[in-house]
């Protein structure tokens, strides 16, 4: 039988067969331990911290199917997935190659915590493959990337990264939170491990924190053992909520892809806007690559009016529907000013150097009607245009 489409997998993959007492929805097994534990292997015992409850089993099977991988593991947060995967496959004396524009929490872990554990880290421009070979050492073990960068929505040479890693025996890891398995399945491209903050699109309702790792049995099994020791596991109740949220992922992504494109096009045409970053626009520098790799361009975009931080905050406070809050991937539209939120810890000069100005606004586009979202934005943008005209 051909592999089922992802819309179908979201509903059916991993669901217990036969259904438990006929339950159409996966019940919550809120039990810390299970009777008759005859497992020879400690890591397989029926115990909540070992991620072996029926809720973990069902979710792991669903996530593996969605990413087209052999094995999956859920974790207490996206950061738990990322850090546990990295500390499993890196030891003191090893070297990590990483894309240079990463999620702030990951970046902090790479520059603060890994070196303290004896792991050296070098950053590379994901769009300059010619520069990578000089940075590789005999001790390099992992090449780490993201499917789209935050907040500028750059798409690195992902085909090149997985090929480069494969040719040199490195483990390629990719944080694909922004894309979700509906828009991009990195294992199918050749990546070894895919990581997610399931807090975002996978759950989609901004009401839980979770993470996921998917890949081969060979690479995921040691991460599971490390997680058993570190303890950053997902509880069964949150497993249930995440499994429920996943069922609508395809519908949500479809709407978010469409809404973000509609918003990006309006922003691009508005005279007050100087720059729009969205991989679905033909003007995006990696649009062709994104079109080749992704099934949809995603719900994230950013734009710049060339205003100061204060002026931008004033503009954001004029929005009625869009909420000024960090995080992303939920059904509601959120806006944030990265210079004051996700990237506030960076040196301002370094931040500006990357193109993250004080006035850059990031939008996580929700599933509201596109017309209403456009109307909300245009009303504040028109005010800026009128103010500029008056002062000219
Ligand atoms: N990866 C990306 C791309 C993110 O945006 C985030 C959080 O914003 C994380 C990982 C961390 O996820 P969590 O907050 O679930 O730990």
Decide: 290 and 219 in contact? Cβ < 8 Å.
Answer: no
Name the domain boundary from 207, 226, 246. Answer: 246
Instruction: Kindly state the average pLDDT of the residues 29-33.
Output: 96
Same structural domain, 231 and 308: no
Chain centroid to CA 89:
20
- Cβ of residue 143 lying under 6 Å from some atom of ligand 1: no
Instruction: Kindly state the average pLDDT of the residues 134-152.
Output: 97
Same structural domain, 285 and 222: no
Same structural domain, 50 and 153: yes
Q: In which band, very low, low, confident or very high, does the pLDDT at 80 lie, cut at 50, 70 and 90?
A: very high
List the residue whose alpha carbon is closest to atom 15 of ligand 1: 78
- Cβ of residue 203 lying under 6 Å from some atom of ligand 1: no
pTM of this structure: 0.96
Which positions ≥6 away from 143 have C-beta within 8 Å?
A: 97, 98, 161, 164, 165, 170, 171, 172, 173
What's the rounded Cα separation, in Å, for the pair 127 and 148? 12
What's the rounded Cα separation, in Å, for the pair 126 and 155? 8
Q: For residue 63, which phi and psi values (nearest 5 degrees)?
A: -65, -40
Same structural domain, 240 and 290: no
Residue 135, pLDDT above cutoff 70:
yes
Same structural domain, 186 and 289: no
Q: Which residues on adjacent β-strands are paired with residue 211?
A: 75, 197
For residue 211, the CA-to-ligand 1 centroid distance in Å is: 8
Chain centroid to CA 34:
34
Copy the structure tokens of residue 83: 């850090």
Chain centroid to CA 115:
24
Ligand 1 atom closest to the Cα of residue 199 is 15
On whether residue 67 sits in a domain, the answer given is yes
Name the domain boundary from 246, 270, 299. Answer: 246
- Sort residue 293 into left (φ over 0), alpha (ψ -120 to 50) or beta: alpha
On whether residue 104 sits in a domain, the answer given is yes
For residue 168, the CA-to-ligand 1 centroid distance in Å is: 28
For residue 149, the CA-to-ligand 1 centroid distance in Å is: 12
> Mean pLDDT, the chain, as a whole number?
96
Least confident range of 35-49, 144-158, 173-187: 35-49
Instruction: Express as a percent the part of the chain with pLDDT over 70.
Output: 100
Instruction: Kindly state the average pLDDT of the residues 358-368.
Output: 97
The residue to which tokens 């070894």 are assigned: 192
Name the domain boundary from 213, 246, 279. Answer: 246
Same structural domain, 71 and 138: yes
Q: In which band, very low, low, confident or very high, does the pLDDT at 392 lie, cut at 50, 70 and 90?
A: low
On whether residue 290 sits in a domain, the answer given is yes
List the residue whose alpha carbon is closest to atom 13 of ligand 1: 78
Instruction: Kindly state the average pLDDT of the residues 192-202.
Output: 98
**pLDDT given for residue 346 in this prediction:** 81
Range of the domain at 285: 250-391
On whether residue 367 sits in a domain, the answer given is yes
Same structural domain, 32 and 114: yes
Same structural domain, 234 and 278: no
In a 13 Å sphere around the CA of 198, the CA atoms on its Cβ side amount to: 31
- Cβ of residue 197 lying under 6 Å from some atom of ligand 1: yes
Instruction: Kindly state the average pLDDT of the residues 149-162.
Output: 96
Same structural domain, 239 and 352: no
The residue to which tokens 């053992």 are assigned: 225
């Amino acid at each position: 039988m051909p592999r089922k489409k992802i819309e179908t997998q979201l509903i059916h993959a991993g669901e217990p067969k036969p259904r438990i007492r006929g339950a159409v929805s996966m019940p919550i097994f809120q039990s810390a331990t299970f009777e008759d534990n005859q497992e020879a292997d400690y890591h397989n015992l029926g115990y909540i911290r070992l991620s072996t409850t029926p809720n973990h089993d069902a979710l792991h099977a669903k996530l593996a199917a969605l990413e087209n991988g052999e094995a999956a593991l859920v974790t207490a947060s996206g950061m738990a997935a990322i850090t546990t995967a990295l500390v499993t496959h890196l030891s003191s004396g090893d070297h990590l190659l990483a894309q240079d524009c990463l999620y702030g929490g990951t970046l902090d872990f790479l520059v603060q915590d890994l070196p303290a554990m004896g792991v050296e880290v070098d950053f590379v421009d994901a769009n300059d493959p010619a520069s990578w070979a000089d940075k590789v050492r005999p001790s390099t073990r992992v090449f780490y990337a993201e499917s789209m960068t935050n907040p500028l929505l750059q798409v690195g040479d992902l085909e090149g990264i997985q090929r480069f890693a494969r040719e040199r025996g490195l483990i390629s890891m990719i944080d694909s939170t922004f894309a979700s398995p509906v828009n991009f399945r990195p294992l199918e491209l050749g990546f070894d491990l895919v990581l997610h903050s399931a807090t975002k699109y996978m759950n989609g309702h901004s009401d839980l924190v979770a993470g996921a790792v998917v890949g081969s049995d060979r690479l995921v099994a040691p991460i599971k053992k490390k997680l058993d020791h570190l303890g950053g596991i997902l509880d069964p109740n949150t497993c249930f909520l995440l499994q429920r949220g996943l069922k609508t992922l395809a519908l949500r992504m479809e709407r978010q892809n469409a809404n973000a494109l509609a918003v990006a096009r309006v922003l691009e045409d508005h005279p007050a806007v100087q720059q729009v970053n969205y991989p679905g626009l033909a003007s995006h520098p990696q649009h062709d690559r994104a079109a080749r790799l992704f099934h949809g361009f995603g719900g994230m975009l950013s734009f710049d009016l060339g205003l100061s931080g204060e002026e931008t905050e004033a503009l954001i406070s004029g929005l009625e529907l869009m909420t000024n809050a960090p995080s992303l991937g939920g059904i509601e539209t959120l806006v944030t000013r990265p210079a004051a939120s996700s990237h506030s810890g960076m040196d301002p000069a370094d931040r500006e150097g990357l193109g993250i100005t004080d006035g850059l606004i990031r939008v996580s586009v929700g599933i509201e009607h596109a017309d209403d979202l456009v109307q909300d934005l245009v009303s504040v943008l028109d005010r800026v245009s009128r103010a500029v005209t008056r002062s000219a």
